[in-house]
Structure 1
Amino acid sequence: MTNTITDTGNVAELLGLGPEEEISDMDATHEPTGKGIEFHVAMRGHTMRDMEELIVQAAAQLLVGKFGNDRLAKEIEAKTISLVSDKADKALSAVSAEIIDQPIIPKYPFMKSDEKPTTMREFIGLTGRDYLTAFVDVSGKPTTDRHYGKSRIQHLVEKYMEVAFKREIEKATNAAIMDVRKAIDDQHKAFLESEKARFREALAKTTA
């Protein structure tokens, strides 16, 4: 790794300074070079400016070199998204709460003085309740027949329970079938072993 971080020439290029600009000849390095004499001096205006810019650029390059361009860009992007998301969430939360509590059905003259207009929040609840309590036929379609119809929530619960019972019955049936098959296999194996033993005994007597 080179010892030089940056120099005033590079800084001049970054700042777009032309050849007519007076530029100091200074380097920013990782380690001391052992050249020159160290002592306090009073700098001229342009020299002080170059020194400040050199320090800033050197610190920036060290920071970028430490994190890496890709990682630094990703962290900046993630932080930006986080800040924007937080602000958007706060703004939308306030707007959503305001909208959902806004009256959507105006107060009619025949309404009682203590009755309030229906808000969006209340309307959503009423709509859900109306949907679940509406009468439907055996296929779940709306019907006006109160004798053969049933509420949609009853229909949905029965339909779910039917599927759940069917699934459990299939599991139990399959388990029973497996048990029967295993019992038959065990009996078959026992019978074969018995017949093999009887055949060996008969063969032994014949050869004796």
Structure 2
Amino acid sequence: MDHHVRRHRGGFLFAKVWILVEGETDETVFQECARILGHDLFGEGICCFKFVELGVAPFIRLADQLGISWIVVADGDAAGGKYVATARGLLNGRNVDEHIVQLPTYDIETLLCLHGYGHLYAASVSPQKLAANPNPHTHGTEQYWEHVVNKLQPEKGKPTRILPVIDALEDAGPPAVPQVIKSVIDQALIAAKEGA
């Protein structure tokens, strides 16, 4: 927890809403998509940050103690399912739809690939890696993009690889933001207004 206090200079402790996500790429996607949609999350009292180092439970408990509303966004994989189950166990009678979102895809990168940005991920695959690990799935399917993102991309540098995607999203404008991301941002904005 100390890491997050230092990283966010304690500001997240005074937010109205936390969007709790699995990784750095997710942080970047939500913050930048909010900006593309015309919202300043920080200015609205919303802090988006990753929870994976400590797990989701400590952050939900702390948010509840501080009176901060929270939304958990988990990947569509097995680990994401476990985070969702943990968050459900901490709802204390609250509406699941207002607090927990599981992505309809394996991860946020796969979601973005399915929304027309896969070519940007595919462009960074080296011919040697592709030859060593050919994609066995039908081009354009979720499994195909999952393979591109998780088998053909370098292990490190996911947050860096999102930058061209953000640029393309910005060029395309608000209609290009995937609905699931927009819905989370909208719900956070509603919660922030209710908590004002």
Is TM-score (shorter-chain normalized) higher than 0.5?
Answer: no
Normalising by structure 2, we get a TM-score of 0.17
Report 1 or 2 for greater relative contact order, CA contacts < 8 Å, sequence distance ≥ 6.
2
Whichever of the two has the greater Rg, that structure is 1
Normalising by structure 1, we get a TM-score of 0.16
Higher helix share: 1
